[in-house]
Amino acid sequence: MNKDVQADPTVVSIYEPFKQKMEAEMSRVIGHADKALTKEKTPETLMGNFFCEALLWMSAHYAHNTADLAFATKGGIRNDLKAGDITVGHIFEVMPFENTLTIIELKGSQIRQLADYIATTHGQPIAGMTLTITGNKVQDIKIKGLPIDDNKLYKLVTYDYLANGGDNLVLLTQSVSRTNYPQRMREGLIAYVSELTKAGKQVNADLDGRIKIN
């Protein structure tokens, strides 16, 4: 098939209303960013920080119990958000997969293993936790501003792909408990951006030193 093949008017008449409806929804503006949120190959990124803060919000909004920390991977976040209007379509570009919200409980000692993974992969998106890394080794870990306790249980919010061991994260399959939610990541992101807009806020993020590499 090529451009010389003429469209069948009967077939077009069937799908055109659905196509127009989909295009209208994808173009719907849900928020505004005053600066680009990018995901360059650095230990901490604006897009990663935004995404994980959104995950913490989702844990409170959908699970009604804010997680202690959030974790994602750079590869799982598929696109930047440009400065200016943010549409539903832009969120689909950020998270085009069918990944759904997941909250797991891990002991502090398991969080240390996760921190080692973050160190050896030169930084990954996190929220609620700060790391100091020297030579691919974690020197300091704090969760919600406090030193990590190896025997304490912490709630981590992420998405099912990672909780299932994706991206070589087998350690997340060994959680003490796990709760799955039906909300897709893009649905949560759309709700989060819409909530910011409703509150009169811009879509924004800052580099705050949550991952420091010496």
29-33 vs 84-87, strand pairing mode: antiparallel
Torsion of CA 138, 143, 145, 151, to 10 degrees: -100
Q: Give 173-193 pLDDT, tens digit per residue.
A: 999 999 999 999 999 999 999
Where does residue 34 rank: exposed (0-12), middle (13-18), buried (19+ CB within 10 A)? exposed
Q: What is the CATH number of domain 30-213?
A: 3.90.780.10
At residue 176, what are phi and psi to the nearest 5 degrees? -70, -35
What residue spans define the domains of the chain? 30-213
Residue 16: the pLDDT is 60
What counts of helices (H) and strands (E) characterise the chain?
Answer: 6, 11
Residue 25: the pLDDT is 83
**Along the chain (214 residues), what's the average pLDDT of each consecutive run of 10 residues?**
64 58 84 96 96 98 95 96 97 96 98 97 97 94 97 98 97 98 97 98 97 92
